[in-house]
Structure 1
Amino acid sequence: MVNLEDVKSFVESNRYQTTLLDIKEHLNLDINEGQPSDNLFQYDANKINVANVEIEALERVIDQGKVSLAAFMEAKLSKLKQTAHEQEGNQGEDKIIKVLPFYKNFLIIYLLELYFLEYNPSGLDVYLKGIRIPNSKKYKDQLIAIYTALDN
């Protein structure tokens, strides 16, 4: 089982920080340089435990993935932006009050999704339901389509 301290160590590791910097530059993202709260790290630990994987699996996605994390993130963000009107609870136009930077730990969800797409596609549905993603079947299909387009 992964705990809060394991996630903190992973996010502070050279491997993760290098990947975060690459993603930040590639996608031109604003990253909050402050330390995320322990609640966010615990939330990530819970997602990793629902996925039934260890930190080493996420490291493998960074080091040996067939599809680059940056390419996957770019494609996913683009695709989901196109379908924003279909997201749950979005009946009208959104009113953006303030855009905040991403927390440093935000790559974990992408690493988990890419892990399942590359190493355990049959487990993706169970994972998405386990972390309570609304319309998980549709979301899974979107992830598979994004990944398949990148892997060809």
Structure 2
Amino acid sequence: MNKINEFINSGLYETLLKAVQERNVEIDNIVPFSLLDYDRERLVAARIEIEDLKALLSTNMEEATSFVKSKMQLDFDEEDEYPVGEEVIDDEKPRTINELPYYKNFLVAFLIEYYLLKIQPKELGKYLKRIRIAHASKYEDRLKELWKNVL
């Protein structure tokens, strides 16, 4: 957890964070320990180390920035999430009451996906299933499409 905390407070990570903040993204610099633990679990599920992310980011900052910005523009809400005949009426759909700022560590999850797309693309689907992403195959396809556009 200390390694993750050091990483998100490093100059390298701050550079990426500043590039993202140009999009008027509000960031909360105080990260609860539980979220750092969650990041550690994601790294374990991806079977990579925080040093892998550091190394990749240090040599591919421009590409990583492009990936993160592109991903932040995507709308991952699925309108067809429910089978035909079982759709939810508008009154039952979830609504956002307040939009809270992103915690500073939010880019760790993006960087894990970036790493897998760039270095271990065959592992992306397995990773998404390990972290129990809903509709993992669809999400993987969307990420791969985004990746092609970044390249």
Give the TM-score band, short-chain normalised.
0.7 to 0.9
Q: Does 1:98 align with 2:98?
A: yes
Q: TM-score, normalised by structure 2?
A: 0.84
Q: Does 1:50 align with 2:40?
A: no
Instruction: Tell me the CA shift for residue 21 of structure 1.
Output: 1.5
Q: Give percent identity, aligned residues only.
A: 29
RMSD: 2.1
How has the CA–CA distance of structure 1 residues 108 and 66 changed in structure 2, closer, same or farther, with 3 Å as cutoff? closer
Cα shift readout 1:115-152 (whole Å, capped 9, x = no counterpart): 0110000111111111111111111011001001111x
- 2:79 maps to what in 1? 85
Instruction: Tell me the CA shift for residue 76 of structure 1.
Output: 2.0
Name which of 28, 32, 39 aligns with 2:34: 39
- 2:110 maps to what in 1? 110
Cα shift readout 1:21-47 (whole Å, capped 9, x = no counterpart): 22112x2211112x2111000000010
Q: TM-score, normalised by structure 1?
A: 0.84
In the alignment, structure 1 segments of 5+ residues that lack a partner are none
Q: Does 1:65 align with 2:60?
A: yes
Cα shift readout 1:43-100 (whole Å, capped 9, x = no counterpart): 000100111111121113322238622321232232325x443457x93354331111
How has the CA–CA distance of structure 1 residues 134 and 15 changed in structure 2, closer, same or farther, with 3 Å as cutoff? same
Cα distance between partner residues in 1 of 2:55 and 2:138: 27
- 2:122 maps to what in 1? 122
In the alignment, structure 2 segments of 5+ residues that lack a partner are none
Cα distance between partner residues in 1 of 2:19 and 2:61: 17
Q: Is contact 2:8–2:105 with CA below 8 Å preserved after alignment?
A: yes
Cα distance between partner residues in 2 of 1:43 and 1:86: 29
Name which of 6, 20, 36 aligns with 1:9: 6
Cα distance between partner residues in 1 of 2:31 and 2:14: 14
Cα distance between partner residues in 2 of 1:30 and 1:147: 25
Cα distance between partner residues in 2 of 1:72 and 1:87: 25
How has the CA–CA distance of structure 1 residues 67 and 87 changed in structure 2, closer, same or farther, with 3 Å as cutoff? farther
Q: Is contact 1:69–1:110 with CA below 8 Å preserved after alignment?
A: no
